Structure 1
Amino acid sequence: MSVFISGATGFIAQHIVAQLLENDFKVIGSVRSQEKADKLLKQFNNNENLTLEIVKDISLPNAFHEVFAKYKGKIKYVLHTSSPFFFDSDDYEKDLLIPALNGTENILNAILDHAADTVERVVITSSEAAMIDITRYFDPTFFYDENSWNPTSHEEALINGVHAYTASKKFAEKYAWDFIEEHKNQIKFALTTVNPCNVFGPQQFDENVTSPMNTSCEIINKLVHSSVDTKVDRTTMGKFIDVRDVAKAHLLALQNDNLIGERLLLISSGFDEQSILDIINDDFPALKGKIRVGNPGTGALQNWKGSIHDNSKTRKLLRFEFLPLKKSVDDTVSQILRHEEKL
């Protein structure tokens, strides 16, 4: 039996695929083009346990039906990681809300129609965004945990890109939980959602280092390529989790019965540009004097002043320690410099 993973070329998804293969799972992944499939297969050394299928657009009706029909009776686990993550758009409905919701709807209906009797676990990559009130994220009186839901309405989601992205994660995840309840007598599988905050950490492969990088890692990449005159942006702040921890949580959600029906809030610590700069300046002598220093020791890592979260339930369920910001930043920067032959 196999694991199906949507969006296999994604930043998080590639780490999940790597960990699945390391644990001897047979993996079927969806990608958007043959070119992407060829590249990913080559990166994984044409591993015989990895098969890739083309799904050009997850938002189109019945997007996953052909794949699930092809592998009928062979898929035991499903990981749905594919969803847009960006803020710049001229059409929030088309670019963010519709793909996120339709992608989730399409994959769950494909399971219902073609694999209801074989799929046992479904894990959806949701987001901290589905749990927060984006208007109060930096409000120290705002509290959230695994039971919290983003209150953004459809109308409010169209205000700007940040509102649209956070709402898209809420709408898609809520659909999944409602689907489980509606079809509980027709399906075999149980659901878990993985809800990470900003995801840092190295790419699975050095050659995937680009400029710009994926949305979250670009925060670090931008600072690596900053100058001493660059001002520290005090608005670039939030909470972080390492991509390797996110991948590990997905695998545990497939295997551990105690994670069935849970929403896993993945947060390691707070961060801001100052916190990241402190780590880079301390740990990379080759960059010291070339990038901004700011005011060391005053960052969000030491002095978070925003919203309060409690993910103690998630930590207790997962039973592993999340990687600290220092490790995540060090490994990301090392990879960037290595790729650019500066290390």
Structure 2
Amino acid sequence: MSTIPAGSKVLVTGANGYFGSWVSKLLLDRGYFVRGTVRAAPKGEALKAALKHPNFEYIVVGDILKSGAFDDAVKDVDGIVHTAAPILSPEGDPEEVIGPAVKGTQTLLESAKSHGNRLKRIVATSSVSAVVEMSRQTFYKYTEADWNDNCVKEVNERGAGATPLAKYNASKALAERALWDFAEANKNSISFDFATVLPSVTWGPVLLPLSAPADSSATLLYLWNFIKNPAPDSSTFSNYFANTVDIRDVADLHVEALLRPDAGGHRFLFGPYPMYPQFLYDVVNRSETLKARGVTAAKGNPGAVDKLPLPLEFDNEPARTILGITPRPIEKAIVEAVTAFADAGLLP
């Protein structure tokens, strides 16, 4: 359905976040006008200064859970990329995590339905957490037909006793389901369609200056913790912990999912690179750029994980064939992310 030509205006929610800032930059580079939502004016001014583009504007949406919060933001835009999500700790009552994640999505959708007078497509950020079931003991290839129902079951059965990971994963799965449920319930009364992007752990350069490890994203904090740890447990060096992807690929996924007509109705999984601590340490220790900055990592057994069997895989083919995405090498993304920490004085 989507035909959104250059020169159109696109709303990017959570525009000052790691995903939102890169999506905004890519849209601007491709000739679009971008309206970004931020939670406070200083965040909007900081992003405006970083993007340095006359076609960027921001609007303050202080509480994305408030009914009507996005009413003004969605007016006169041709597309929406929804990257905003509540910042919550997955501890305690799961409803304190899941409820806001679902409500934030529903609030945007209701505003879009009522006030999106020119809207053609909404692309929402989800996560591979919405499909991956960590209890699997054998290799499995995940597709857009999969859902992580086990985490939802655990949360329903154990409540506050569910693991923080289960609560987080359930919030991602149920927030995305809310979007698709809305799409089905309103298919005869709205003129726009939907796509979702489900990236894995995302690394790469940052557009906004860092002052703390968690400034950009939880996934960058994940990386910082690996490098900063002065005495990691060597028995874990060959343990798989996630698949990874370059932030620029994630931005490409969102933009192509917005613009390409055939993308409507799809869930685009993308996590091309399995990651192990040993591989991460090898990349950091091989980098002359990082050596010059005094940044090193644990040594371990270099190359030990290069030929390990895949624990899982994501069906990246729809992203390749429908969106035209070819993954960038993850090594460069790792070096650039670690360099951003060094630039901010957070490493070594």
Q: TM-score, normalised by structure 2?
A: 0.87
Deviations 1:8-45 (A, max 9, x none): 11111100011111112111111111221222122223
Gaps of 5+ in 1: none
Residues 66-215 of structure 1: matches in 2 within 5 Å?
Answer: 66-68=72-74, 71=75, 74-84=76-86, 88-94=90-96, 96-115=97-116, 117-136=117-136, 139-152=137-150, 154=152, 156-157=154-155, 158=159, 159-205=162-208, 207-208=209-210, 210-213=212-215, 214-215=217-218
Deviations 1:64-97 (A, max 9, x none): 12433xx3xx111011111246654334321x21
8 A contact 1:230–1:291 mirrored in 2 = no
Moved over 6 A (4+): none
Offset at residue 4 of structure 1 (A): 0.7
Aligned residue among 54, 76, 80 for 2:60: 54
Equivalent residue for 2:4?
none
Equivalent residue for 2:258?
254
Alpha-carbon distance in 2 for matches of 1:38, 1:288: 33
Deviations 1:276-304 (A, max 9, x none): 001011113347895311121123x5424
Letter aligned with residue 256 of structure 2: L
Structure 1 residue 322 and structure 2 residue 330: aligned?
A: no
Offset at residue 5 of structure 1 (A): 1.1
Equivalent residue for 2:28?
21
Equivalent residue for 1:277?
281
**Distance verdict in 2 for CA 1:209–1:319, change over 3 Å:** farther
Identity %: 26
Offset at residue 166 of structure 1 (A): 0.9
8 A contact 1:140–1:308 mirrored in 2 = no
**Distance verdict in 2 for CA 1:113–1:290, change over 3 Å:** closer
Alpha-carbon distance in 1 for matches of 2:81, 2:347: 37
**Distance verdict in 2 for CA 1:153–1:334, change over 3 Å:** closer
Letter aligned with residue 161 of structure 1: P
Offset at residue 57 of structure 1 (A): 1.7
Equivalent residue for 2:341?
336
Structure 1 residue 65 and structure 2 residue 65: aligned?
A: no
Alpha-carbon distance in 2 for matches of 1:290, 1:264: 35
8 A contact 1:85–1:165 mirrored in 2 = no
Gaps of 5+ in 2: 1-7
Alpha-carbon distance in 2 for matches of 1:21, 1:307: 35
8 A contact 1:240–1:270 mirrored in 2 = yes
Give the aligned length.
Answer: 331
Letter aligned with residue 111 of structure 2: A
